[in-house]
Amino acid sequence: MSSNGPLTGEFFMNGDIACAEGGISAGCRFFAGYPITPATEVAERMAERLPEIGGTFIQMEDEIASMAAILGGSWGGAKSMTSTSGPGFSLMMENLGLGAMLETPCVLVNVQRAGPSTGLPTAPQQGDMMQARWGSHGLYPMIALAPCSPQEIFDLTIKAFNLSEKYRTPVLVMADESVGHMSEKVVIPPPEEIELVSRKKPTAPPGEYIPYKPDDDLVPPMGLTGEGYYFHVTGLTHDERGYPDMSADAQERLIRRLINKIELNKNDIIEVEEDQIEGADVVVCSYGISARVALLAIKSAREEGIKVGMLRLVTVWPFPDQRIREVATKIKAFVVPELNNGQIALEVERCAGGAAETVLVGHMGGAVHDPQVILEAIRKAAK
């Protein structure tokens, strides 16, 4: 395997490798990571590929350092990325919060495995979906995308970079072991056909640049280190100058804006895939590998004459509240298969608000669902 830039063409590759190639196609030129099953191949691919294209790979001493290093890399001007799995994801939570607070574009890939603790390192789970939203302390916005195939992890890694650059915030790619280790055809378009977004640069000259003064979209332009802006950034609550301000007013202003820059731009961020929702009695709402496994159950149910639709969450966070509310008024029930004991199902139930029933098809992980179990749930819900 040798290439001097982003690949173009059709390839047979696993999800982890497709993820790394997605990063490269998105312009990622700095990767810091730490070995962990089942995400290691992302780092291995980056270790091989980045030197070929003038990028930098470093294996750090742990995941805490990896997350800190990609924040530094981003402030140094490189599109930056790391990858990990559950145990490392927990360690990255600390600096994920710093990334949100400093408004640092970067991408963190979690190839989820079964937990808690060391759990099942080589088997899938979707047990980190709530941690993805709330895992760091305090209040902050989060964007998380859930790929269901090697092709999609390639596409969504690019999308994750674009969103992180556009909104100046860390973005999570929430894959899982089965997607990471599944090998399939991946089509990589020529670079000129891939739309890339880069962070807004300051228009004000260095002396007049106010680091955290937002534009109308609530996102402040980002000056880079070494360009003469002499900015200060801090994980403390800060004013528009970036200086610490320990007042409740400053907290309200800053955190409200951080949350609103995602909330008010939800329509731009949220992507869902829908199929035959119009006229459905039951809608299977799922994401990642579980949504893919559910396709077989949906097909079988339709063959039995059940009117069943599909709503796949490509963006899991921010949660597509509004769309779930709309659909809930038209159907009997949501069936929510996920490889946990009910995380996203809680969100679906909250948004359904009693207008439709929410049926969790839980699974403790270690394998994917048996489609028959999902089919049974669809049958029951349709009655």
Partner 1 sequence: MNQKKNEISALSLLREERMPHIWCPGCGLGTVLNAFLNALIKSELPLEKMAVVSGIGCTGRTAGYVKLDSFHTTHGRAIPFATGLKLANPELNVVVVSGDGDLASIGGNHLIHAARRNMDITIICVNNFNYGMTGGQVAPTTPLTARTSTSPYGCSEPPFSLPSLVAAAGGAYVARWTAMHVRQMTKAFVEAMLKPGFSFVEVISPCPTQYGRKNQQATGLAQMNYYRDNSVIKHGADPQDVSIEFNGTITVGKFVDIERPTFSDLREEIVGAKFNPESKA
Segment contacting partner 1 by CB under 8 A, of 66-74, 274-282, 324-332, 361-369: 66-74
The token pair that represents 11 in the structure block? 């390839």
Q: C-beta of 320: minimal distance to partner 1 in Å?
A: 32
Give the CA-trace dihedral at 244, 168, 97, 321, to 10 degrees.
120
- Residue 366: how many other CB atoms lie within 10 Å: 15
Q: C-beta of 232: minimal distance to partner 1 in Å?
A: 5
CB-nearer residue toward partner 1: 59 or 300: 59
Q: Please give the biggest Cα pair distance in the chain.
A: 69
Q: C-beta of 78: minimal distance to partner 1 in Å?
A: 4
Site residues for partner 1, window 141-160 (CB under 8 A)? Answer: none
382 binds partner 1 (CB under 8 A): no
Q: C-beta of 309: minimal distance to partner 1 in Å?
A: 44
Site residues for partner 1, window 213-232 (CB under 8 A)? Answer: 224-232
Q: What Å distances lie between residue 67 and 33, 104, 106, CA to CA?
A: 8, 11, 9
Q: C-beta of 133: minimal distance to partner 1 in Å?
A: 20
Residue written as token pair 């990858």: 83
Residue from 8, 44, 72, 376 binding partner 1 (CB under 8 A): 72
- 317 close to 143: Cβ distance less than 8 angstroms: yes
53 binds partner 1 (CB under 8 A): yes
28-33/79-84 β-pairing = parallel
- 299 close to 179: Cβ distance less than 8 angstroms: no
- 145 close to 316: Cβ distance less than 8 angstroms: yes
Dihedral sign computed on CA atoms, order 205, 206, 209, 215 = positive
298 binds partner 1 (CB under 8 A): no
d(CA 16, CA 83): 9
CB-nearer residue toward partner 1: 65 or 294: 65
Q: Of 10, 1, 2, 46, give the one whose Cα is nearest residue 190.
A: 10
267 binds partner 1 (CB under 8 A): no
Residue from 236, 271, 273, 278 binding partner 1 (CB under 8 A): 236
Residue from 10, 54, 195, 303 binding partner 1 (CB under 8 A): 54
Q: C-beta of 27: minimal distance to partner 1 in Å?
A: 13
Binding site for partner 1 (CB under 8 A): 4-5, 29-30, 32, 51-54, 56, 58, 60-62, 64-66, 68-78, 80, 94-95, 97-98, 102, 224-236, 243-244
